Amino acid sequence: MSDLSSGVRAVMPDVQGRQDVRAMPIARVGVKNLRYPLVLDVAGRAQHSVGLWDLHVGLKAEQKGAHMSRLLAWLDAFTLEGEVVDFDRLQRAMPELMALLETDSAGLSVSFPFFIRKTAPVSGQQSLLEYEGGWLARCEGGHTEVRMVATVPVKSLCPCSKEVSEDGAHNQRSHIRLEVLLGKAVPWAELVRFAEDHASCELWGLLKRSDEKWVTERAYAHPKFVEDLVRDVALALNDDPRVLAYTVDVINFESIHAHDVHARIAHDKKTTV
């Protein structure tokens, strides 16, 4: 008769908790591509979304394995509470994750869609526009860094095409990706404006004919190369004290070429003399 059948509780061996003798620490070990819900604060309202999560910890040389189940248990508790996932909450939560996994370092990344309700420039028609958002967080040596990510679709018009053409100019949709290291919280709507304010024109989900005319003429009056877009956005981020460092990527999905074009500026204000 087994211990279980006789009512005696068996002690399960903790294989992962055993000591490893290979003297090889692991920088990152964890779970990837886990879909789990989260709540955001967008324009002062709670917005429910689904995130694609990566969670990882550092593993000391003497540790045989990480307790993967604790990562999922932490995430379940973190999201089950229904609280907004934001800068301040991530700052508090990362040391807790590190303590739970008994490690010296921990990190996460999550990407998700979010929506902002926008008003068309002439008709006043309201509609939602989708953006891709994300959080990157890492805690090591008692210090936590939190980065905010947004990919913003905009419209760009080619200055060269405008200059050489008698009528019109080629234009296309562009994506501006912002990754900012935060010292203080920045609302999603404000992060998006860093990109939209410096494009040839921003986008809306729904436009009437009067709005289409406005958008077309607005873009024609504000031509931008990909180099112009990335520089103008970077200058705006330089001026915001809440942003400690940033990477800006711009991709133009070219309308008259078989390729796209790309530009990047990365800057760490903390290293500026």
Give which of 121, 133, 130 is closest to 213, Cα–Cα. 121
Question: Strand, coil or helix: what is 186?
Answer: coil
Q: What is the reported pLDDT for 1?
A: 46
Burial class (CB in 10 A: 0-12, 13-18, 19+), 63: buried
Q: What is the reported pLDDT for 64?
A: 84
How many whole angstroms separate alpha carbon 219 and alpha carbon 157? 6
Question: Going from the N-terminus, what domains does the chain have, and what CATH number goes with each?
Answer: 26-271 (3.10.270.10)
Amino acid letter, 133: G
How many whole angstroms separate alpha carbon 50 and alpha carbon 94? 20
Q: What is the reported pLDDT for 3?
A: 53
Q: What is the dihedral of CA 199, 173, 158, 229, to 10 degrees?
A: 30
- Residue 190 Cα distances to 41, 222, 258, angstroms: 12, 21, 34
Q: What is the reported pLDDT for 62?
A: 83
Give which of 88, 266, 269 is closest to 187, Cα–Cα. 88
Give residues with Cβ within 8 angstroms of 46, minimum separation 6. Answer: 39, 40, 84
List of E strands, 122-272:
126-140, 143-157, 171-182, 201-202, 243-252, 261-268
Question: Which mean pLDDT values do the consecutive 10-residue runs of the chain (273 residues) have?
Answer: 53 69 87 96 96 93 84 92 91 91 92 98 98 97 94 95 89 96 96 98 97 96 96 98 97 90 95 62
Give which of 146, 126, 124 is closest to 136, Cα–Cα. 146
Tokens describing residue 190: 């404000």
